[in-house]
Homo-oligomer: A and B are copies of this chain.
Amino acid sequence: MIILGIDPGLAHTGWGVVETRGSLVRARAYGCIASSADEPIDMRLGRIFREISQVIEAYGPTDLAIEKIFFGQNARSAIPTAQARGAAIAACAASGLAVGEYSPAEIKQAIVGTGGAEKEQVTYMVRHVLALDHDPKPDHAADALAAAVCHAHLSRTRAIAASHIQTEVAP
């Protein structure tokens, strides 16, 4: 399974592509789409849509993993993030990716084992799980890879649970 993780933001949208091979998860590529507040909104959102579309074409992911967005957030920061998220998800929908949405706590839980983990612990574990010889940078790309790894782990857990249930009900 090839999974695209996205950490959306109007100024910086991180992305990371991982591939699962059995219980292994490996990074294929990651990066960050940046734009400046001086640029018109259509140019900024258009770039996110276009570059995410290009990543999908280049690496052929079947699944998108993305952080949930919360109503409790400050609207000043949430609105630009939500607009970027809309453009990024539209690109994934246009390519038919299945979408998995996870809360920050779910991502931390899946990677570090506790929903209250620090950012550094998450980066450390993402590096370790993906067997990278460096910390993925910038943070937006690391967060995108973390979402993708979370999706890989939970998909595998669900698949194992489903196979156990099948075994149990078999005659």
Contact = CB atoms under 8 A, between A and B. Distances in A.
Interface residues of A, number: 36
A99 B42 CA distance: 7
- Do most interface residues of chain A lie in helix, strand or loop, or is the interface mixed? helix
A87 B92 CA distance: 11
A41 B78 contact: no
Given A42-B64, A42-B89, 12 more contacts: A42-B97, A43-B93, A48-B90, A49-B90, A50-B94, A69-B83, A74-B75, A75-B79, A83-B85, A83-B89, A84-B86, A90-B91
Interface of A: 40-43, 45-46, 48-50, 64, 69, 71-76, 78-80, 82-94, 97, 99, 101
22 contacts: A41-B89, A41-B99, A41-B101, A42-B89, A45-B86, A46-B89, A49-B94, A69-B79, A69-B83, A72-B75, A73-B79, A75-B75, A75-B78, A78-B79, A79-B79, A82-B82, A82-B86, A83-B85, A83-B86, A84-B86, A86-B86, A86-B90
